Amino acid sequence: MRRRFVLWMLLGMTALSPGCTLWREKKVVNNWADATGGEGLERSFWKDVKDKNWTELERHVASNYVAFTPEEGRMDRATMLQHLQGARLDDFSLGDFQVELNTNTLVVTYSISMSGSFAGRPLPTQPVRMMTVWQQQKAGWLAIAHTVIGPEAK
């Protein structure tokens, strides 16, 4: 009889435990300090663009940074930062991540969907493929290269 009681108690506690709210929901990365991988770094980067947090963004872009876009071609760090300041990013969504780690370097490819405008023109509505190369240095993770690959293949 005692075994049966213990068994029912264990089954009852097990049935109730999934509904328990003992643990908090995992936070989405909101800042650079919380970023632990390529996805977190990209989310922090684009969040700073959206929030127009240029000082913080500049801290995470290497002095020898190179960017390439189909429209603008090759850009250095200063040109790219100025280019981004011309954007009004209302919202963004990142997905389809692929991250490759090689010692202290991350190569991150992903898709980004954006809403907003650039130089008075609306941003593309279809997702765009991008690639960023991040390198871990004494100051933390720094973007050293970025390219806009183009719209996602359909």
CA-to-CA distance for 8 and 149, rounded, in angstroms? 59
Tell me the fold of 36-151: Nuclear Transport Factor 2; Chain: A, (3.10.450)
What's residue 34's pLDDT?
62
Global pTM value: 0.76
Pairing of strands 140-151, 61-69: parallel
Domain ranges for the chain: 36-151
What's residue 25's pLDDT?
47
Low-confidence stretches of the chain (pLDDT beneath 50)? 20, 25-29, 154
User: Which alpha helices (H) appear in 35-132, and where do they start and end?
Assistant: 38-51, 54-58, 77-85
What's residue 138's pLDDT?
87
CA-to-CA distance for 94 and 49, rounded, in angstroms? 14
Nearest to 66 by CA among 54, 51, 81, 88: 81
Give the position of tokens 């765009």: 128
What's residue 15's pLDDT?
53
- The token duo for 128 is 């765009």
